[in-house]
Amino acid sequence: MDDNTPEFTERQRELIAMLPATTSEIAEEFDVAPTTVESHRNALKDKGVPLEYDRETNEWYVDGSPGWQAMATEEDPEGTNEVDLPDLEDVDVDPEAEANPNDLTDRERVVVSELETGATVDELAERLDERESIVTEHIRDLKRSGWHVYIDESAEMVAIEGDQPLRSSEHKGTRTRKANRWWELRHNELVREFRGLETPEAKYHDTSGEEDWVTHVTDLHAGDLVRDDDGEVVYSTESIPDIVDYITSQSLGLAEKHASTYETAHLLWGGDMVTNEGIYEGQWEDLDAWLDEQHESLIDPLVRQIKAFAERFPHVDVVCQVGNHGKSRASGTSSQANADLILYKSIRNVIAQLQDHADILDNVSFDIGEARAYKNFEMRGGEIAGHLRHGQHRRPQAETSARDKEWTKTLLDHDFDVAYMGHYHVSGRIPWDGPPILASPSPKPAGEFVEAIGARTPSEHQGVATAHGVSDDGVTGVFPIDMRKYA
């Protein structure tokens, strides 16, 4: 970029990367009010970004978006981009000073609330609409007043150690901040660990005439407790490992039934593997009691799934997409502080350790998406383009011209040959005049959410996943996996 190129905050780059999008879509993705989205747009306009509004689709877009989007999302390949962090070493702290929320000014309360989950100086400056030098002085004042402010250099942010709540009681907000802090610490630990490991990667050998085998698993919702009308538990974290093992065995059995020869198996993990916060009905109350246990309940069965597929297929490609339950709902957290993402990186590190030290699973590779709405990947050695979404930004029907237009735009943007989505806990192929879009169900029994969108169909057996073959010409046979053989 030249000297005249404006500098964008991380949030502004994320917003530009989302465009074109509606205000409601941006608000949902960032978990903010529509008025906050408007403030972000105005800030971008002030920096010269040519934002335009499409009245037909209600979408905001950038006039000349390819160049702007490339600039906004550009990453330094050498990893030399650095975040300016304040120098707190020379701050004189009164040893008798104690942090007291009652002594905070309104502006300091905003800073503290952001630092409880970690934030950069430029993020705070944007939130306060203030110069970074002023924000830095606020941070230094907080440290002088006894607040345990520290610099997390690995996460490139400023944070407050401990939990000094700004509310009168520890309600959901405080528990959520604790959960976010756990995410941040765990994510940083995983990143540091993985830097010393070889990336799980396997060489792909395509053989003409063979097929690939695809298994799409999504919306496991580890952490949810579901009861039926009689109060009986019908879904819990304890049951999920057995369900994942069942999906594994059923998919392998269906691959045999399909009676083809295979080169690569693609394991598509579509997000909401953990349930995280109380967004839907039937979720546990206390985040602190089970957040880490959600991950622990999934790591073993998912590693077993990889191992079983690695023994059956010459090559296994694990493609990972995050969901909307995994993401942090609090402001100021890193966009990578996503519980799904941490789960995927944990498993990736396990596989990397086994490859490095035990010389096993060398035919397994990982393709982990970022905390964004989709992940593109290749099948059949690049002959088939796959597009994996969690699905919260798309409907599982193309029943109106607007919905059809959404998928048409997605096709034009990504040029996919087959797409996958979850989120809605329904199963089937979306009827439209385009490439196959396969919606996969959730093992979690459908609730009011599925009823509300009118997507639930009567079925004797709960659906849990989707499997299919794919050749150089496209999808061959599709096999919905349900619970009819589950014991």
Round to whole Å and give the CA distance between 333 and 119. Answer: 6
How much is the pTM? 0.59
480: left (phi over 0), alpha (psi -120 to 50) or beta: beta
- Supply angle C-alpha 296, 302, 304, rounded to 5: 110
Span 239-257, pLDDT tens digits: 999 999 999 999 999 999 9
Q: Where are the beta strands (DSSP E) in 162-280?
A: 211-217, 226-227, 233-235, 262-269
CA 31 to chain centre: 13
pLDDT of residue 69: 46
Q: Domains in the chain, please, with CATH?
A: 10-73 (1.10.10.10), 101-194 (1.10.10.10), 199-482 (3.60.21.10)
In three-state secondary structure terms, 201 is coil
Place of tokens 């408007």: 38
pLDDT at position 395 is 61
Which pLDDT value is given to residue 336?
Answer: 46
> What distance lies between CA 246 and its chain's CA centroid?
25
Per the DSSP assignment, residues forming a β-bridge with 314 are none
The DSSP output letter for 145 is T
The distance in angstroms from the start CA to the end CA of the chain is 60
Taken as a whole, the chain contains a residue count of: 487
CA–CA separation, 10 and 19 (whole Å): 15
Span 121-174, pLDDT tens digits: 888 888 887 888 888 888 888 888 888 888 866 556 787 865 444 433 334 444
Amino acid at 143: K
Say what angle helices 240-258 and 287-312 make with each other, to 10 degrees: 20
Average pLDDT for consecutive 10-residue bins of the chain (487 residues)?
60 83 82 75 82 79 57 43 70 83 84 78 82 86 87 71 45 50 60 56 56 96 81 86 95 94 96 66 39 82 94 95 62 54 89 84 90 88 93 60 71 90 84 89 72 52 94 94 89
Give pLDDT, residue 436.
93
Pairing of strands 374-379, 384-389: antiparallel
Secondary structure of residue 261 in the 3-state scheme? coil
pLDDT at position 278: 44
* Residue 287, CB-side half-sphere exposure with 13 Å CA sphere: 25
Centre a 10 Å sphere on the Cβ of residue 203 and count the other Cβ atoms it contains: 8
